[in-house]
Structure 1
């Protein structure tokens, strides 16, 4: 029994020989199978680039008027995207209607927008989908003066009797506030008797506090500066809709929010009684061409930013599909059922996205490549066998020429031809499975050479001897 040192040396030599043999087989394989490998690589690159392109690193979102609550929300989303390595550019607009128009324009770079439900039925506009609702936007109707009864808001003969001859603001045309106020007034049966003004939110607050107008519709979140300014002003009152349930039935995207007595201000006991507010929702609308990974990123931002508990929303309530009017994105539907992809919980966004894309690309690629790769061994063996067969064919042709036209004076030329044929055989790379065929060819070449080197050649016969005997 050998020593440990000798056994170790033999083991090392064995491993080295095995590695060398495997490397030789690999290089031979690459030399012979490279056309198929190039084809498979081209297919893989095609799937990678066209079937599942990488997500963009720059996205534009339309928010609203500068200084508004949507701009503040957009900044929070931008910070979230920045942490994930994506730049989210905030694009100020005049309001919801412009947001819709920019999304509908296939040449506009804007791919996302904050839009209140009910501004437009986006299902009638091609190319726009919803990632769901991300928060409540109550319909606030503030007014100044003596506190009125809820019945005073009801329309009588098409007029709001409490506000007859007075002025109220319904928001800028094209804004969410204007769309909601107009819809509510229309459902109330209002046709005239009140002077309407179209003021931006901030201007409406100032005008109401200065007494330049008597009432103002503001559709915005509870935390919005304009809403807080009026809620904290003791001179302002808030309309409670007596028939709130009826409005919610007639206008399907509206929701009812319960406000307990004193919830806005306990010291002021504001409101003085339990009340119901009508509310729409803020939705994230997108261009339906948006990359799925970016859609998931928006949904994850909504869960992180808007999913926290707030004055009106429970923790985890958003994002959700509270507005069933707008066409839902398939990605959002998947998110609602399965949440964010599992990989995102353990890897940074770009690594998780890369792994997801690799899985998406490699699965169909493997389905296609597997039978091709399975065929490679037989393909290689067939190519090697064909090379050997061609050399056998050349040897047979050469031997036939010797048999029919043998000239003793050209023996050296015949030997040179055999040497060239043997050189070709030496340069044929074959697998171990075909070693017997390879050496049989070498032996055949050597046999013909030996025949030529004999004193009596089998290719030369006496004229009086019948070769068939």
Structure 2
């Protein structure tokens, strides 16, 4: 038992001594190369700052006309960003055309916008990417007068006769409503013979309720005040798209939304029959220069806000990356496959972002520093060996001087020079692996000192005649 205990003690003692030796070597290494490591770190920090600047704390998001559902959605995003320490500023605009023009303008500070899918000029714009769809935008067509049967809209002349010489609002030019209304009217063959007017959503609601127009296209969310005002007016009717599948085939970005009988109002039994609505989607478009961390934040906001179950959407349906005609952001592609970065589940946004950016620096630093660190032990050994060799050279020079021109009156001066060499040897910091060379140097200095102290001439002897001979 005692032998086993002694073996354990010897083992731990050996490990302790080895660890202490390596620690001493490491601290000595840091003392020697810290300027080089700091320089390398400064260079990498500069590259880091240039290649991956920190995310901005202020972002601008274009919504649309004041009072629209996009504005209400934008306010929810503002609250989400505020919790993350980012100021999200909502920018009201005249609609999709202005949003796209401003996003594609490289001098405009606007960085994000809500834009309906299917706006034709969006795909031709430069410098814009998509973070996917975040919600459905139903296409509503409300009208006044006697309620038409669904079969009336299957024939061009049936529905057309009712709306000949009547006013229909199709939204203002440049808006998403205008783009969808024109596309649907052309696909159905109604682009001629219908008198169209261009009104904003709010103005078209007022005009329709006042009887100033006979029908109105509005593309807006179910919860939007304009839509609720029209749904709750019993004098107005809503068109069902009986041929919704055909429209969706001809216009690929359109979706079909099923509305069960009485879903809008059970007391009124509205709608009186199951109906189908066409819908586009709300796309979240960005300037392609937007910081990746802010893009991830927008996607996470969409998941939290738009990922909930709503009247038309199922839980987790949005953000969706299925039907965007625009180039999808690489960040959105990563998010679709991997979801939000893992660190953000455990740390606040800014802490997680800082850790991510530090990893961006530390990994290259380790990649560059590792081969340097690997080569430094040999470099350090050569440096220490060179110091020892230089002292050997000085000792040899002194010994040659003693051999060739010894002056007994300068003996004290010689001893002082030897003492200085010994002091310089003692000051050398070496690893244990070079102890033999170190103590060999010390022994050599002592040897020369002993020779100097042993007689009239340090390297002389008496010949047969009693004369001092020099070796």
1:442-457 matched pairs, under 5 angstroms: 442-457=442-457
Q: Does 1:190 align with 2:190?
A: yes
* Unaligned residue ranges in structure 1 (runs of 5+): 1-15
Partner of 1:238: 238
Q: Is the 8 A contact 1:33 1:380 kept in 2?
A: no
Cα displacement (A) at 1:115: 0.8
> Are the structure 2 counterparts of residues 121 and 173 from structure 1 closer, same or farther at C-alpha, using a change threshold of 3 Å?
closer
Q: What is the CA–CA distance in structure 1 between the aligned matches of 2:159 and 2:260, rounded to whole Å?
A: 30
Match of 2:259 in 1: 259
Extract unaligned runs of 5+ from structure 2: 1-15
Evaluate the alpha carbon distance shift between residue 60 and residue 467 of structure 1 in structure 2; reply closer, same or farther with a 3 A threshold: farther
The Cα of 1:102 is off from its aligned counterpart by 1.6
State the secondary structure of the residue aligned to 1:179. Answer: helix
Residue 282 of structure 1 aligns to a residue in which SS? strand
CA drift at 1:446: 2.6
* 1:69 maps to 2:66: no
**Shift of residue 277 of structure 1?**
0.7
**Residue equivalent to 2:221:** 221
Shift of 1:151: 4.9
1:373–1:123 Cα change, 3 Å: farther
290-299 or 28-37, which deviates more: 28-37
| Distance in 2, Cα, partners of 1:209 & 1:320 | 35
Shifted more, 22-31 versus 181-190: the winner is 22-31
Counterpart contact for 2:150–2:242, Cα < 8 Å:
yes
SS at match of 2:313: coil
SS of alignment partner, residue 124 of structure 1: coil
Aligned length: 455
Secondary structure, aligned partner of 2:263: coil
The match for 2:90 is 90
CA contact (8 A) 2:112 2:287 kept: yes
TM-score (norm 1): 0.88
Bigger CA drift: 300-309 or 42-51?
A: 42-51
- Cα contact 1:258–1:275 (8 A) shared by 2: yes
Residue aligning to 1:59:
59
User: What RMSD over aligned residues (CA atoms) do the two structures have, in Å?
Assistant: 3.0
Cα distance change, pair 124–386 in 1 and its aligned pair in 2 (3 A): farther
SS at match of 1:318: coil
Partner of 2:413: 413
Deviations 1:190-218 (A, max 9, x none): 34322222211111100111111111111
| d(CA) in 1 for partners of 2:383, 2:67 | 73
| Aligned twin of 1:433 | 433
In 1, the alpha carbon distance for the partners of 2:446 and 2:120 equals 90
Contact kept in structure 1, 2:408 and 2:457, CA below 8 Å: no
Q: Does 1:423 align with 2:423?
A: yes
Q: Secondary structure at the match of 2:216?
A: strand
| Matched position secondary structure for 1:321 | coil
Whether the 8 Å contact between 1:411 and 1:452 is mirrored in structure 2 is yes
Q: Point out the more displaced range, 289-298 or 45-54.
A: 45-54
Counterpart in the other structure of 1:317 = 317
Aligned to 2:11: none
1:306 and 1:442, CA in 2 relative to 1: closer, same or farther beyond 3 A? Answer: same
